[in-house]
C-alpha cells in the first residue's frame, strides 16, 4: 500500500517505522518541530527512507487533496499531529484516513486525555484507532486497546502506554487495509457519550488544596511528564507572596483537621500540607524558577491561598 503519514512525537516516529518495516510505500511524511522546539523525530526516519517531508499544515488545505490523489495514496495515518485536516483531504485516500487517539472514544475526545483520565481517578484507559471524519475524534472506531492505570502512573507513563498499545492497532490496520476498505472495522461511536477535553489544565493550572487528598495527588501525577515538558505545566500555588510549583506529592492517609492549604510539619523527606480530608506530603517543588527542598520554602503554620476547585 501507499501510505501518507502525518505525525509528531515518539509515537508518530514509531508508527512511521512500523509502516516502512511492513514493506509499505511511504509516499510522504507531514511533520514539523515539536511543541518545545525540538526537531521532529519523524524527519530523521523520513531521511533514511528517502521520503518527502512536507509541512504538516498542508493537511488543512482542501487543495492538498489533489496532491494525495495524484500520488495514489491508499491510506492516510495520523499519529499525534494536532492539525485539523480538511474534509477533502480525508476523503482522498483510496482506503481511508485514520487517527490514533490516546483515549477511549467517545468518552475521552480532545486533548491531553491521558492526563484527564488520571486526574479523574480512572483505573483503566484505552487507545483508539478510528476513521477520521470532518469533526475531530468523531469517526467510527476501527480498533481499541484497554490497559490499566496504576496508582502511581504519571501522565508520561500513560501516554507511553497509549503508544505501546497503539502500535499493534496500527499493524492490524495495515494488514486489514491491504485487503480493502471493507476489511477495516467501522463501529459507530455511542451517541450521547461524547465528552470533549480541552488543552488547558484543570483549575487554570492551579492546585486547589480544598480538594480531597486523592484528587490532589492525582492532579500532580497527571501533570508529570519529566524529563519532558508537561502540557499542563506543574500545578501552582501561592504561599505568602511566593508562587510555587508542586512537582511531586504523596498520600499519607493521615486525617487532617487543619484548614485546607495549611502547612504542617516536615516529615518523611517532605512537608505535609492539609487537603480537604487528609495531609498530603509535598516531596518536591519549584520556587523562584528552580527546584528547592520543600522545607526551605514551606513553614509550619503558613497557609496556601485556597483556590476554588473549578474545572
Which positions ≥6 away from 244 have C-beta within 8 Å?
A: 236, 237, 238, 285, 286, 287, 297
Average pLDDT score over residue span 70-95: 96
Quote the pLDDT of residue 110. Answer: 96
DSSP of 183-225: GS--BPPPTT---EE-SSPGGGGB--TTS-HHHHHHHHHHT--
In this prediction, residue 57 has a pLDDT band, given cuts at 50, 70 and 90, of very high
Residue with cell 501507499: 2
Q: If residue 239 lies in a helix (H) or strand (E), which one and from where to where?
A: strand 236-239
pLDDT at 41 over 60: yes
Phi, psi of 113, deg, nearest 5: -65, -30
Domains and CATH numbers, the chain: 2-197 (3.40.50.170), 202-297 (3.10.25.10)
Mean pLDDT of the chain: 95
Q: b/e for 45-75, b at 16 or more Cβ within 10 A? A: bbeeeebebbebebbeeeebbebbeeeebbb
Average pLDDT score over residue span 134-161: 96
Summarize pLDDT for 245-271 with one digit per residue, the tens: 999 999 999 999 999 999 999 998 999
Average pLDDT score over residue span 202-229: 96
Distance of alpha carbon 256 from alpha carbon 253, whole angstroms: 9
Grid cell, residue 35, equals: 511543541
Q: How do 278-287 and 290-292 pair as beta strands?
A: antiparallel
Q: What percent of the chain has pLDDT over 90?
A: 89
Q: Is 199 left (phi over 0), alpha (psi -120 to 50) or beta?
A: alpha
Distance of alpha carbon 24 from alpha carbon 16, whole angstroms: 10
pLDDT at 76 over 60: yes
Grid cell, residue 79, equals: 499519529
On whether the CB atoms of residues 289 and 247 are closer than 8 A, the answer is no
In this prediction, residue 308 has a pLDDT band, given cuts at 50, 70 and 90, of low
- The three state secondary structure string of 33-89 is CCCCCCCCHHHHHHHHCCCEEECHHHHHCCCHHHHHHHCCCCEEEEECCCCCCCHHH
Distance of alpha carbon 92 from alpha carbon 40, whole angstroms: 26
Distance of alpha carbon 290 from alpha carbon 300, whole angstroms: 22
pLDDT at 34 over 90: no
Amino acid at each position: 500500500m501507499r501510505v501518507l503519514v502525518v505525525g509528531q512525537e515518539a509515537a508518530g516516529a514509531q508508527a512511521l517505522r512500523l509502516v516502512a518495516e511492513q514493506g509499505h510505500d511511504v509516499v510522504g511524511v507531514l511533520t514539523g518541530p515539536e511543541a518545545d522546539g525540538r526537531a521532529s523525530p519523524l524527519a530523521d526516519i523520513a531521511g533514511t527512507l528517502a521520503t518527502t517531508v512536507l509541512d504538516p499544515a498542508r493537511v488543512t488545505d482542501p487543495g492538498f487533496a489533489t496532491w494525495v490523489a495524484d500520488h495514489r495514496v491508499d491510506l492516510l495515518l495520523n499519529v499525534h499531529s494536532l492539525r485539523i485536516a480538511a474534509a477533502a483531504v480525508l476523503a482522498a485516500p483510496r482506503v481511508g484516513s485514520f487517527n490514533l487517539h490516546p483515549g477511549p472514544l467517545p468518552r475521552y475526545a480532545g486533548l491531553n486525555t491521558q492526563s484527564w483520565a488520571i486526574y479523574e481517578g480512572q483505573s483503566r484507559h484505552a487507545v483508539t484507532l478510528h476513521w477520521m471524519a470532518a469533526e475531530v475524534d468523531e469517526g467510527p472506531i476501527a480498533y481499541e486497546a484497554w490497559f490499566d492505570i496504576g496508582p502511581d502512573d504519571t501522565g508520561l507513563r500513560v501516554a507511553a502506554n497509549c503508544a505501546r498499545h497503539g502500535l499493534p492497532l496500527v499493524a492490524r490496520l495495515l494488514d486489514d487495509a491491504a485487503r480493502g476498505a471493507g476489511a477495516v472495522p467501522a463501529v459507530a461511536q455511542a451517541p450521547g457519550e461524547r465528552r470533549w477535553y480541552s488543552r488547558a489544565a484543570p483549575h487554570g493550572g492551579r492546585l486547589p488544596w480544598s480538594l480531597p487528598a486523592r484528587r490532589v495527588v492525582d492532579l500532580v501525577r497527571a501533570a508529570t511528564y519529566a524529563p519532558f515538558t508537561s502540557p499542563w505545566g506543574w500545578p501552582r500555588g501561592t504561599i505568602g507572596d511566593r508562587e510555587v510549583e508542586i512537582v511531586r506529592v504523596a498520600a499519607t492517609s493521615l486525617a487532617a483537621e487543619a484548614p485546607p492549604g495549611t502547612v504542617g510539619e516536615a516529615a518523611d523527606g517532605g512537608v505535609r500540607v492539609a487537603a480537604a480530608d487528609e495531609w498530603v506530603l509535598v516531596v518536591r517543588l519549584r520556587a523562584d524558577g528552580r527546584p528547592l527542598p520543600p522545607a526551605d520554602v514551606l513553614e509550619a503554620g503558613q497557609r496556601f491561598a485556597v483556590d476554588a476547585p473549578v474545572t
